[in-house]
Amino acid sequence: MYDFLIGPMLAVTLVIFIGGLAYRIHQFFQLSGEVKIDPAALPKDIRTDVENREKEEYVRINSASDVFLKWKIKLKRTFLGKHPVFSAVTIVFHLILLFLPIVTVGHNVLLDDYFGFRFPTLSESTVDNLTLLFILLFLFFFLRRILSARVRSVSTWRDYLALFATGAPFITGFLAFHQIFSYDIILYLHIICGELMLIAIPFTKLAHMPFFILARFMIRNELSFGTGTRKWLENN
């Protein structure tokens, strides 16, 4: 069973995952189009706060003060600026989700065996503590969807599916590490849950992961890292 899960099943999972990501990237470019940087299209509040500068200077935004001012104005209008504590919790949750599997010793052993390379790893105790933190944050988001009337009213089964798809690999990994219940069964469940999460990323609400990264680097006026060279098409 173990050899099948980390052999043929893993290969199929990676093919679906990579193919799904390629489809989502293609979809991103279909839903967005290239734009030229037009000084007149800059946010009005930026023009007002820096009204002594020429419009051409807005396009370049070369000085550190301009960059700081631009980000300060953007942040004030975002969820991050309005709810910093909840945003910090969300950021920690996503950082652990993205990076903890990469720096886990057991995962890197498999990487080394199959692909001949490995990433730097954290100690087992650190990984264990971060896993426990992730599980607590997972429970927080789960209970929030149930107990908060506002969040519950807009939640669908797809939201719960995406949440459990991300939480299950960490919960089963934690149980396997501490050898709670049958180690072999929990280990199999951990591998299956991890592979199902990879498969789910391109085809469920977890697809916001590649879209988020692409948008932050390429879409204008979405807290982009730079001025942005694309915008969402209006008919989408």
Residue 35 has pLDDT above 50, yes or no: yes
Residue 231 pLDDT class (50, 70, 90 cuts): confident
pLDDT digits (tens, 9 = 90+) for 70-99: 665 566 656 555 667 888 888 899 899 989
Nearest one of 169, 171, 194 to 181, comparing CA atoms: 171
Which of 54-63, 111-120, 164-173, 209-218 is most confident?
164-173
What distance in Å separates the CA atoms of residue 76 and residue 134, rounded to the nearest whole number? 28
The per-residue pLDDT for 63 is: 53
What distance in Å separates the CA atoms of residue 82 and residue 141, rounded to the nearest whole number? 19
122-128 mean pLDDT: 93
Residue 235 pLDDT class (50, 70, 90 cuts): low
Q: Are 70 and 46 in contact (CB under 8 A)?
A: yes
Nearest one of 98, 90, 81 to 140, comparing CA atoms: 90
**Single pTM value for the model:** 0.75
Q: State the first-to-last Cα distance of the chain, in angstroms, to the nearest integer.
A: 45
pLDDT digits (tens, 9 = 90+) for 11-33: 999 999 999 989 888 888 888 77
- Which tokens sit at 124? 């087992």
DSSP state of 235: T
Contacts of 227 (CB under 8 A, 6+ apart): 37, 59, 61, 220
Contacts of 142 (CB under 8 A, 6+ apart): 163, 167
Q: Are 211 and 217 in contact (CB under 8 A)?
A: no
With H, G, I as helix, E, B as strand and everything else as coil, classify residue 34.
strand
The per-residue pLDDT for 225 is: 60
The per-residue pLDDT for 77 is: 59
Q: Hey, what amino acid is at 187? A: L
The per-residue pLDDT for 7 is: 86
With H, G, I as helix, E, B as strand and everything else as coil, classify residue 165.
helix
The per-residue pLDDT for 54 is: 45
pLDDT digits (tens, 9 = 90+) for 162-211: 899 999 999 999 999 999 989 999 999 999 999 999 999 888 888 877 77
212-236 mean pLDDT: 68
Provide, rounded to the nearest whole percent, the portion of the chain with pLDDT above 70: 74
Q: Hey, what amino acid is at 16? A: I
Give me the chain's average pLDDT, please. 80
Residue 42 has pLDDT above 70, yes or no: no
Q: Are 103 and 119 in contact (CB under 8 A)?
A: yes
- Greater model confidence, 108 or 65: 108
